[in-house]
Structure formats: structure tokens, C-alpha cells
Amino acid sequence: MRPLLVPPSTRYDDSVNPVTTDGRDVDPDLGTLSGEGSSQRSSGSTDDHLKLVDQTWQRHPDEQDNGTTYYERPLLKLPVWEWVIPFYYYVGGLTGASLVLSAAAQLRDAEGNRSLIKRCHWIAFAGSGVSAACLIYDLGRPERFLNMLRVFRPTSAMNMGAWILSGVGATAPVALLLQGRGGFFGAIGGAFGYLAGLFGAGLATYTGVLASSSAVPVWQQSRRAMPILFGAAAAGSVGSFFNAVVDNRQERSFTEAFGIVGQIAELGAGYVMEQQASEVERVGRPFREGVSSVMWKTAAALTAISVVANLIPGKSKTKRIAAGVLGTAGSLLMRLSIEQLGKASSMDARASFQQQRAGKGAAEVV
């Protein structure tokens, strides 16, 4: 039977603003699908799906040495994040670490490091805009970002991330405009510079908390190391960026040490993360097999080569730029590999089951 079509009617026709409705009252603008989730497509026709389900339930789960699963099907769905999220990891880390660096330079010698502080604030100003654009693109609708600011929930890494990014967007421009001025406005700029540094530290690390708070086994298993990894990689990103782009030797003398320490800490945190994930052999498999393993190891190799290049004596411009480019590539590829590790772990039908049976993941905090 075909559904009856309800002709449009007018409500409240005696009022100042009469309403014309078809009875459903669906706003086409609000009903439009957008964002990454809207790009998902059906895997096939209904008949094919039912046929596949029927074949699946004809057999029983196999008792194997490596454990049973739910009919060999993954427990989790793939993350729907696109390339824009790993790119946001990099840009947000660069933005946050540059604000931390500017606050440290301001604390050490605000007058002597005025050029470095100003450059860091410019990086943060541009980076906060790019970061907001990446998140809005991922959400699909700008108002969804504003909706996250209706509440303040410290237990939600995503909600805290929205507030942290908003804090960076509010403090970095003020610090950029007023930092270094004399008198009252200079004091305001200095205070906002320190405040922006605090928000920057959160921006550089909260994404590691956000990813590891999910149910993806490899992220959840290494949740203690991921925020440290992201923060260290952010510091290394700043050092590599200055090496590749900035030609001021006085500024680089400060940023080079900052970046080298960050890169060494990144390599250490990456090793710890891999060891933590491998406490359950199946959970740590993406570090050793497949595309995710190649990306992860290549990122570590690029970062290590960048550290060696920075430590080699000499002031060659070619060596400096090469170290900066290699460090930037390693830092960006590391973020991309984190995403690929999560996808590989989600597709593994046994990783979640074996993690739970081993009492790992977040079981000890329940």
C-alpha cells in the first residue's frame, strides 16, 4: 500500500507568523547528512547481506589455540576518521608546543627573545585557525563545534579538547598583539603569553588522551604512553619546523635543543607504547605486521635520522634544512601511523577478545 500524501496545511493562520507544514515538520537543512559518518556506504544489496548472514550462522565457532571469536567477525567498527584528523594531530601539536616554547622563552628572557616569542605566537595564531578548520571539516557542520561548548565536562577528552582549542584561539591573538609593548598593555600581553602556554600544553597532549580513551585495543592498551608520545612529538615538530624554515641562528639555538629533546623523548615514548601494546601479543600485532608496521617503523627511522643530523657538528644550511624536513616528515608520518594502527586493530577479530580475557585495557580502572 502506498503511503498517503498529506497536503501542506497552515497552522495558526490568525497569528502574526502562520506556519505552513506537511505534518512532518522536518527541517531539510538540519536533516541533511554531513560529516565523515555520512560518507559511509552500504556494502551490498539486502539479498547479498542476508545470504552472507545465513552462511555465517550455518557453522559453529572454532575452538582454536589462539581463542574463539564471534564468528570471526571484528567486535569493533573501523574508525571513520579521515586524513584530516592525523593532520590535526600534527598542526595542533605544532601550535601547542610553539606556545609552550614562547612561554619558556618569555620566562627566561622576554626582552632578549622577543623575536622568537613573536614568531611562536604567529605560528600559534595560524595553527589555531587551521586546527579549528580541520575539526569543523571533520564534524561536517560548524555549529557542532559550538554545541560542544555548551557544557564543561572534565571526564570527556573531546569536550576538554574543544575548550582547550577555544582557549588557544582566545589567548594566542592577544599575546601576539600585546606581547612586548610597554606599560599596562605589555603586562596584559605577558600574562596572556603565559596563559596561552598552559593552553598550548593541553593542546599538544590531549589528542593522545582522546584516542586512547576509545575501545580500539591498541590505543587503549597503550593509553599511558600516548599522551607523552604526542607531547614529545609536538616539541620535536617545533624544532624541525624552525630548522627547515627559520634562518635566524639566535632563535634556532633555543629551538634546536627544544626539538632534539622532544624527538629523543618521542622515540622513547614510542618504544614504551609498543611494549605496552604488546603485553597482549595479539593487540601489539599491528606494530609488527602490515602497512601500519611499515609506517610506524619508517616514522621512527626518519625521526632518528633527524636527531643524528642535528647532533652532527657543523653549521651547514643544507644539513639543517635536511634535518628539519626529515623531522617534520617523521612527526607527520607518526600521526598517520597511529591512525593506521587503530584501523588494523579494529579489524582484528581476536584483539579485543584476547585483551579482555587477559584482564588488560581499562579493566583495572572499572
Domain 77-213 part of CATH 3.60.21.10: no
Cα–Cα dist 125/119, whole Å: 10
Least confident of 19-23, 291-295, 334-338: 19-23
**Minimal CA–CA distance to 340: which of 90, 132, 85?**
85
At 53 the pLDDT is: 53
What lies within 8 Å, CB to CB, of 165 at 6+ separation is 92, 128, 131, 132, 135, 203
What is the end-to-end Cα distance of the chain in Å, rounded? 52
What lies within 8 Å, CB to CB, of 55 at 6+ separation is none
Domain boundaries, the chain: 77-213, 218-366
Taking the CB of residue 283, how many other CB atoms lie within 10 A of it? 28
Q: In this model, does residue 312 exceed pLDDT 90?
A: no
Distance of CA 266 to the CA centre of its chain: 16
Cα–Cα dist 91/80, whole Å: 20
327 DSSP β-pair partners = none
Contact predicate 298/274, CB 8 Å: no
At 13 the pLDDT is: 66
pTM of structure: 0.78
At 185 the pLDDT is: 86
pLDDT, mean over the chain: 83
**Minimal CA–CA distance to 20: which of 5, 9, 30?**
9
Least confident of 30-34, 95-99, 180-184, 278-282: 30-34
Please give the average per-residue pLDDT across 39-66, as a whole number.
Answer: 55
At 178 the pLDDT is: 87
At 98 the pLDDT is: 94
Helix ranges (DSSP H) in 278-316? 290-311
At 40 the pLDDT is: 57
21 DSSP β-pair partners = 9
At 314 the pLDDT is: 78
Please give the average per-residue pLDDT across 253-276, as a whole number.
Answer: 92
Q: In this model, does residue 7 exceed pLDDT 60?
A: no
Q: In this model, does residue 233 exceed pLDDT 90?
A: yes
Taking the CB of residue 11, how many other CB atoms lie within 10 A of it? 10
Residue-wise pLDDT for 106-144, tens only, equals 888 777 788 888 999 999 999 999 998 988 888 877 788
Q: In this model, does residue 248 exceed pLDDT 60?
A: yes
pLDDT band at 12; cut points 50, 70, 90: low
Taking the CB of residue 245, how many other CB atoms lie within 10 A of it? 12
Cell of 181: 609593548
What lies within 8 Å, CB to CB, of 26 at 6+ separation is none
